[in-house]
Copies of this chain bind each other. A is one copy, B any other.
Amino acid sequence: MMKLDLTTEKMLEQIDALGFSQAGAFNLRFNGTALGHSDSEHIKIVKKSDRPGIDILIDGAANGEEVHIPVVLSESGLHDVVYNDFFIADGANVTIVAGCGIHNDGCDQSQHDGIHTFHIGKNANVTYLENHYGEGSGTGGRVLNPVTQAFVGENSVFTLNTAQIRGVDSTVRETNVSLGREAKLFVSEKLMTHGGQHAESNMSVELNGESSSAQIVSRSVAKDDSQQVFHPKAIGKNLCKAHIQCDSIIMDRAQIRSIPEIDARHLDAQIIHEAAIGRINNDQLIKLRTFGLSAEEAEAVIIENFLK
């Protein structure tokens, strides 16, 4: 078992939602190289030979297993690009925990771009968790530009939970999902920006298969002078259902733009979108303050609940 330094340990606590340990299937990427990895009976991790990254092969007997593939950057000025491909066999039931933490004490920009592609067979159930986090005392930027692509096969379920709560100066997130017959997609996106941060999320979901469905929920809080742009898109090409919901809290001098797109190309495509941007609920604030909380404490409680 590798001995990890305290900074890395603390970063892993922030980005691995289920708790990282060097057991079962895992791959720990540190400052651009694999620090260690391990397979399990049903999950094999193979280093790519043509470019940085790994192939994660999950067989159909995997049932309730987890694979953890966190990324830590602590070297200032590093631009790490990694291609990870997931090949998930028919019938597999698996949870994939990814995520990236950047600790930047220097004055150069540190950037991680994870390009993740999911090839999901039939009757599978795949949960993907991705937390992004930044910290450090340096003036160098902390940048994360993730790309997620998923091809979801017949009757499979893909659950995508992403969270970026603190410390990432700039992010442009691209997500493209294609759904087969009776495939289901659940997306939960949580985002908080502060300072002069900028965050953009573009998502395109193609409902190609008959009886496919998508449920997309995005919640965000923009503080200080930060800026957020959301552009989720659902394209219904068959009998299908899609529901997109974006709720945002705006604070201070922040700006939030939400540009959802619903595109029905089939008589039986049923697509709904809802979006709301507004300031923090005043009634809730007053109620919490009557319980003795300060204005700041009350705001923190409301935001935490909103993003939970």
Contact = CB atoms under 8 A, between A and B. Distances in A.
Interface of A: 236, 248, 250-279
- Residue from A248, A264, A271 whose CB has the most chain B CB atoms within 10 Å: A264
A277 B264 contact: yes
A255 B259 contact: no
A250 B267 contact: yes
Contact of A260 (B253, B259, B263): B259
Contact of A273 (B258, B267, B270): B258
Given A255-B265, A258-B261, A262-B258, A278 B273 contact: no
B255 A267 contact: no
B259 A259 contact: yes
B271 A277 contact: yes
B263 A255 contact: yes
A192 to B, nearest CB: 16
Contacts of A251: 267
Contacts of A266: 250
Contacts of A277: 236, 262, 264, 269-272
B278 A275 contact: no
Given A262-B257, A265-B255, A278 B274 contact: no
Nearest to A265: B255
A256 B260 contact: no
13 contacts: A254-B267, A255-B264, A256-B264, A257-B264, A264-B278, A267-B279, A271-B275, A272-B274, A272-B275, A272-B277, A273-B273, A273-B275, A273-B276
A259 B258 contact: no
The 5 A-B pairs with the shortest beta carbon distances in the complex, nearest first, are A270-B278, A264-B277, A259-B261, A273-B275, A257-B263
Nearest to A270: B278
A274 B271 contact: no
Nearest to A242: B277
Contacts of A259: 259-262
Contacts of A271: 275-278
A279 B271 CA distance: 10
Contacts of A278: 264, 269-272
A158 B262 CA distance: 29
A261 B269 contact: no
A189 B198 CA distance: 35
A252 B273 contact: no
A275 B256 CA distance: 19
Contacts of A255: 263-265
B272 A276 contact: yes
- Residue from A248, A251, A252, A262 whose CB has the most chain B CB atoms within 10 Å: A262
Contacts of A273: 258, 260, 273-276
B264 A250 contact: yes
Contact of A262 (B261, B262, B275): B275
